[in-house]
Chain A
Amino acid sequence: MSDTHAQTVAFVRDTMLPPEPPPVSESGAVKWLRENLFSGPLNIALTLLGLFILWLLFSTLWPWLSHSVWNANSMAECREIIAAAHGPDASGGCFAVIKHRWNQFVFGFYPVDLYWRPVLAFGALFLALAPVLFADSPLARRIVTGTAAVLTFAIAAVLGAGGLELAAIAVLLLAWILLIEMRGDLALVATLLYPFLAVWLLWGGTLWEPLMALAGFVIGFVIWRALSAYGMFAFAAAVLAAVLWWLLLSDLVARGIAAILPMRLVPVSSDQFGGFVLSITIGVAGIALSLPLGIVLALARRSDLPIIKTMAVLFIEFIRGVPLITLLFVASLLLNYFMPPGTNFDIILRVIIMVTLFASAYMAEVIRGGLAALPKGQYEAADALGLDYWKAQRLVILPQALKISIPGIVSTFIGMFKDTTLVVFVGLFDPLKAMSDTIRASFEWKGAYWEPYIFVGAIFFILCFGMSRYSMYLERRLKRDHR
């Protein structure tokens, strides 16, 4: 600027006015309220409606919740306490039933002094999953493994695990975390071993039985590698060897070794499973077993071989076409018919088989989606490298497809976990209906309707919500990867 204006204009402001605060209606809470709640007649109506719903919920639930009683030995005692404190007509929650019987909701009829075993199995589940679920985020992984380990140890201690057991738990957890941190590749092997550990912890008995079952896989793998030059034959031979091992030898060997070195935990039979231990066992076993089956089915459905494709389609559509509850009835009513006469096996195992088949059909569809979402270039690149079908799948396609599918897998799992409550209809003690009914059948707790539902619902909500948050977190991460 030149000085010319200094002569021609009488006054030039050389300092800025301080900024005025925006009008009240355009700032702070008022602005926020105006924009977000009262921006138009429709919005005002909606806000009022929302407030009304909130008030309705609050005014119905709050008196009941605020009158709740946590210390009592029976429903009648609860009513007395509430009547004494809030007048004869007051109603209130009697959460004493939860305090009194929480262990049944959580552990079913699992022996009290062995509670640490399911706790450890559940805690170790997080250690097993962390390297897979949080592969690219060390911080999240450390938080999860650390919390899981500390909580597992603390809960086991509170639930009265003995000194020896606590020491073993601590060593196991620490060693596992160290393994995850130092040798990520070996941690994946540990993850594969987890199911065998969990079975041993939950059902007890000798360690050699799960180990020998594992040995079958190892034998199969070794034979496959040794004969890998023979292509298809190697695979067939490996399967055959593993099956023969399981059918003929593993039981004998396990018993033989067990006679020398027992490695025994107190056995717990399936009929003692109940509550959330049962739900989580069925849910986790179902999802873990259905994953490989689902992959095979998905590959079969996308295969060029018409017969295999048809069979996969038939299986998947059949399973997806009938309600889970009918499959559970098949497990309880019909599965024994399909087995050789005289065979009998545990209802929980039968339910797990049916749940696995059920989940595998859904899993196959999820993974098929992942396979389809993979750019065609990946398939062509694998072909261009001269990889054969299985190598291409194993090294190129599946690792990527599975990664894309994790959110879908997680939501399948959430659905299945919720569906485990249906086992009540075949006489198993699920936490929701069977356990509540059992507890309500006792004379002390007759009439406790809402409290068990609230408690069980809250736990289901926490677990499922947590999983769905994880899946959303993952979706965000995956999205960033592709950008």
Chain B
Amino acid sequence: MVDYPGAASPPFRLSMLIYDRRYRSLTIQAVVFILVMLLASWLIDNTLKNLAIMGKTLSFDFLFRRAGYDIPQQLIPYNSDDTHLRAATVGLLNTLQVSILGCIAATVVGVIVGVLRLSQNWLIARLMTIYVEVFRNIPLLLWILVILAIFTEVMPPPNAYRGESPRASMIMFDLVAPTNRYTAVPAIGLSNPPGTIAIGREGISWALIAFVVVLAGAWLGHRALRKSAKRVQDATGIRPVTWWKVLAMYLVPVLFLTWYFGLHLIPPVLRGFNFADGTNLDNALVVLWLALTLYTGAFIAEIVRGGILAVSKGQTEAAYALGLRPRRTMSLVVLPQALRVIVPPLISQYLNLTKNSSLAIAVGYMDLRGTLGGTTLNQTGREMECMVLMMGVYLLLSLIISGGMNVFNSRVKLRER
């Protein structure tokens, strides 16, 4: 491998392409590159020929035609007169929705279970082990189907809430009605609505904006307060009591806005076939979300456990020696260090969860695969275009997530001196 710079290089001969190390790598790469390009062009050529034989052309026009089908779960307004493109967008947003909810919940479940598996409590540790093993070793599809079956078979249908002596009754002060179609929860109403601002076809209430602004302000105030408290502590050694100030900072404006807009809950009411007035959380989403959470949670629990075990025992002992109580040892010493081990595989679990959300097909949750790769593909027969688009979008999502992972990784990386 070592080049001797002093040695006179011999004149170039053709055979050096193979025998001379300096050129050989170029030769190999060129050959492999040409072979791969040949393979690719062969595949593309075949595809074009096949398309020609079938009389099909590659065209994305269908995206702008009327979709004609309805989507049960929608985050942005959509009806059957909209285009396939909008349907695909609705699907993509649904994918994102279930993925984000799933990632958050799976992390919570995973951390709790992972820590509890190491608990001193024999019973809890065993139970958690059973949970982890059972969920890790059985296909996700089965969990989705089983949870779906539980929701359909065990929950009461909406009309069970009807009549003089209903078979089912609403829970939580008559505000929430779980059914086998959706969970009806109260909606938030305003008696003094400030009007809405239109963004596209979606109207956003000024009240919501007001709340966001107020909360953001409170958060900034909280930060400033914490900083000044730390300054005082650094200077005097005594940390001023701030909790009631923080509480007031958040609560007072929120309470004021609540009073000003007349914020109240509108309980769901059974009307016609279904609950109305409130908000209905679709079971398809809940089932998929639960299944993804429990399944991925089991994997995350193992990652968390592994991460905690990877922190050497000396760290814990040192923390104990400093007089930290076990819970503070965990949160101040062990977990921050374990995080470095945990985060990379954790992100790859997030990736898996996002990809697994495509199993929505089994519960009829209309995600990207259900709209663009499902009904649209089926109604238009444009399998090539739909698949390419769909894989492209998933790829993009994955790249964004792993990009996020790299950023985070470099931030938590051990800063060695």
Contact = CB atoms under 8 A, between A and B. Distances in A.
Q: Does chain A touch chain B in the assembled complex, meaning CB atoms less than 8 Å apart?
A: yes
Interface string B112-134: 00001001111110010000011
B398 A433 contact: no
B406 to A, nearest CB: 13
Contacts of B373: 326, 329
Interface of B: 1, 18, 25, 28-29, 32-33, 36, 43, 46-47, 49-51, 53, 116, 119-124, 127, 133-134, 136-142, 145-146, 149, 153, 351, 355-356, 358-359, 361-362, 369, 373, 383-384, 387, 390-391, 394-395, 397-399
Nearest to B152: A449
Contact of A326 (B53, B134, B391, B399): B391
B395 to A, nearest CB: 4
Contacts of B139: 418-419, 421, 432, 460
Contact of B395 (A43, A322, A324): A322
A51 B120 CA distance: 16
Nearest to A415: B352
Contacts of A465: 133, 137
A306 interface: yes
Interface in A308-323: 308, 311, 317-318, 320-323
Interface stretch (A117-125, A134-142, A337-345, A349-357): A337-345
B383 A333 contact: yes
Contact of A46 (B29, B121, B137, B391): B121
Nearest to A43: B121
A308 B29 contact: yes
A305 B123 CA distance: 55
Contact of B141 (A305, A307, A432): A432
Interface in A81-108: none
Given A326-B358, A334-B384, A432-B141, A321 B398 contact: yes
Nearest to B398: A321
A187 B254 CA distance: 75
A468 B132 CA distance: 12
A305 B30 CA distance: 10
Contacts of A456: 142
B46 A425 contact: no
B176 to A, nearest CB: 20
Given A322-B391, A325-B361, A54 B355 contact: no
A336 B1 CA distance: 46
9 contacts: A46-B123, A50-B127, A311-B33, A311-B36, A320-B351, A322-B391, A330-B387, A337-B47, A465-B137
B345 to A, nearest CB: 11
A460 B355 contact: no
A14 interface: no
Determine which residue in B32, B51, B53 has the highest number of CB atoms from chain A within 10 A of its CB, and name it: B32
A27 interface: no
B120 A432 contact: no
Contacts of B142: 421, 432, 453, 456-457, 460
A338 B361 contact: no
Interface residues of A, number: 60
B119 A304 contact: no
A336 B122 CA distance: 56
Contacts of A321: 394-395, 397-399
Nearest to A418: B139
B358 A432 contact: no
Closest 3 CB pairs of A and B: A321-B398, A464-B137, A36-B122
A46 B120 CA distance: 11
A307 B383 contact: no
Nearest to B348: A320
Contacts of A418: 137-140
A422 interface: yes
A228 interface: no
A340 B394 contact: no
B397 to A, nearest CB: 8
Contacts of B138: 418, 457, 460-461, 464
B398 to A, nearest CB: 4
Contacts of A47: 121, 123-124
B29 A325 contact: no
Contacts of B359: 325, 422
B55 to A, nearest CB: 13
A269 interface: no
Contacts of A338: 43, 46-47
B149 A322 contact: no
Nearest to A449: B149
Contact of A432 (B137, B145, B387): B145
Nearest to B148: A449
A42 to B, nearest CB: 9
A147 interface: no
Contacts of B395: 318, 321-322
Contact of B145 (A49, A53, A333, A453): A453
Nearest to B123: A50
B54 to A, nearest CB: 9
A36 B125 CA distance: 10
B32 A43 contact: no
A450 interface: yes
Contacts of A53: 127
Contacts of A324: 355
Given A311-B33, A334-B384, A464-B137, 13 more contacts: A35-B120, A46-B121, A46-B124, A231-B18, A304-B25, A305-B29, A306-B29, A321-B399, A323-B369, A329-B387, A337-B47, A450-B146, A460-B139
A326 B398 CA distance: 14
A329 B391 CA distance: 11
A212 interface: no
A50 B124 contact: yes
A174 B384 CA distance: 52
A322 B46 contact: no
